[in-house]
Structure 1
């Protein structure tokens, strides 16, 4: 029997997940980026690529990575961890090098994960108020849907929320676009509750939700514990009870479908974009995104 040839006058509407994945960003380190022969084979042109600045990474490597990404047609967004920066002079030197060698106009500002600051800076807000980032077109700051005990030692979120409010006040006086990019998590409910709480508190900065790319379960558990992921770690723990699945890849599909459905039902919901942490490798994450971002009908 011959197949029917159905003519479509209009292309099919994208499904909720594909729409939600539009304009995703990804994070790399100079070391992991060096293993990619050409990012153009993996990512759409213009993709925002965050460059994580881990303690001990030379600034030369950071700037070289940013310049390479710029040459290949992407939008590099380097991290500026406040506690790793010895002085304003060092901060200005980093900025001037990034601008001069890689055309950087975007940055992620964060406190940094070390206990003893290298200099005067301990927070992203201090760097913002220094004036060093005047003229940047976009600045992102960190958010923690499941809390951060380095900020709120009691397990709450009072200090973290106040810090976000102060940064929003600063953003209102700046020409830079600002957004919150979050730590990764594995369950939709805590994310939805946190984004809704931001709205109730009058924090209207758009959220770029952090998501772990596909990886072995053991890898995800290791990173989740190291990064202080909260209650949503139970998603991995439940799966880990089945030892046959420990070495199998675990993807973000369930989490992202739930968030996409919520966004579709609530268009004003504060998540603007998705940011991927490629814990199972850059290629694996880029492939997953490409496969789920084709706009199929639901």
Structure 2
């Protein structure tokens, strides 16, 4: 399978252990969209040049995304599709079956990136990583990785099977530091994908971020995205249902923050986690 080229307007990151697979740095997050809204959003994004689509078995929208891809006219090899297995399927058999079911719904022969959505304390980590590795070997996924992992678990995974971890996806935004994870991923060339990158709209209401936005003639959400996208080996997948928001997110790629802006952002609190379900891991472990 040839590596998919990114949209000309969107730079890409090379995934390690994945035969040169490239992941566009800005993608379309699709949770919690579904049905016609999701199909329209994906069709619009592909028409604007997005080539990175993020979904998951749990989202319930893979069939909608598959229909949008099939009707888009964009060649499959140009689209980078990410999907995930839910935490109740973390056995080798469950992972394999989940991937196969996701691909059927997406109408695809392979995923470009297949991720463990959430870890589970009682999972057999070596068996999970082995199952991910076999998905790559059998051509069902071009790259694999982990979501929502604390630093200790990521280190253990990389000790067991580094080739199974080509990307890490976690909540990351102006108000939540991921410095400990980035200290692990960057030296290994592993991209970190930020979900909830505009902090679920909190950036729009923040006076400090609003001042930066006014200075640059942009929106606070564009400031939040630009802050992430300027960082080494960081990608972002903001959810955007409307064409207007999709265009605005694309425009954030060209926004350049100065030292004063970065100092103001650095002064913001960095301990505000917005996604912390009851089954989340111990983030400090």
Q: Which has the higher strand share?
A: 1
Question: Helix, strand or coil: the match of 2:183?
Answer: helix
How many residues were matched structurally? 222
Number of the residue aligned with 1:81: 86
- Cα 1:198/1:39, change in 2 over 3 Å: closer
Q: Which has the higher helix share?
A: 2
TM-score between both structures, scaled by the size of structure 2 = 0.56
Instruction: Report matched runs for 1:99-118 at 5 Å.
Output: 101-112=107-118
Q: Which 4+ runs in 1 deviate beyond 6 A?
A: 18-22, 113-117, 120-123, 235-239, 295-298
Provide, for residues 249-269 of structure 1, a one-character-per-residue CA deviation record: whole Å limited to 9, x for no partner.
Answer: 852514633761xx4xxxxx4
Please report how far the alpha carbon of residue 204 of structure 1 lies from its aligned counterpart in structure 2 after TM superposition.
3.2
TM-score between both structures, scaled by the size of structure 1 = 0.54
Mark the structure with the bigger radius of gyration.
1
Provide, for residues 230-277 of structure 1, a one-character-per-residue CA deviation record: whole Å limited to 9, x for no partner.
Answer: xxxxx97998xxxxxxxxx852514633761xx4xxxxx4x1x52223
- Structure 1, unaligned runs of 5 or more: 1-17, 152-156, 172-177, 222-234, 240-248, 264-268
Please report how far the alpha carbon of residue 169 of structure 1 lies from its aligned counterpart in structure 2 after TM superposition.
4.0
The one of 146, 169, 179 equivalent to 1:181 is 169
Please report how far the alpha carbon of residue 27 of structure 1 lies from its aligned counterpart in structure 2 after TM superposition.
1.8
Indicate yes or no: 2:232 matched with 1:275: no
> Take 2:146 and 2:66, find their aligned partners in 1: how far apart are those partners?
20
Number of the residue aligned with 1:28: 30
Number of the residue aligned with 1:286: 246
Q: What is the root-mean-square deviation in Å for CA atoms of aligned residues?
A: 4.7
Contact map agreement 1:83 1:112 (CA 8 A) in 2:
no
> Take 1:110 and 1:169, find their aligned partners in 2: how far apart are those partners?
15
- Cα 1:123/1:27, change in 2 over 3 Å: farther
Contact map agreement 1:66 1:78 (CA 8 A) in 2:
no
